[in-house]
Amino acid sequence: MSASDFEERVVTVPLRKAKAEASGQRADKAMTLVREHLAKQFAVDEADVRLDPSINEAVWERGRSKPPSKLRVRAARFDEEGEPVVEAETA
């Protein structure tokens, strides 16, 4: 793997759209928003985004109805067996 195959950056994911959901579904929507945002930023399919459990813990920390309004994430894009993959963890 060469240096051009690996890209890492810290991204702030806005989660304010989760507040528009019903209170019992906000954390679920926030997790979906994290995956969608990273897929768009790194130009990969949503199925190719791997989220670390630390992101899940950060979103669910205050319960299902009160996810954070934004979340800083350290994400890296690399090729695995010829396919682009993004792995992310909290920053």
Residue with tokens 């890296």: 76
Residue 55 token pair: 């992101």
Give residue 15's pLDDT. Answer: 97
Q: What digits encode the pLDDT tens for the residues 7-61?
A: 999 999 999 999 999 999 999 999 999 999 999 999 999 999 999 999 999 999 9
Q: Which residues have CB under 8 Å from 66's CB, separation 6+?
A: 26
> What is the value of pTM for the model shown?
0.91
67-76 residue pLDDT tens: 999 999 999 9
Residue 5: per-residue pLDDT: 76
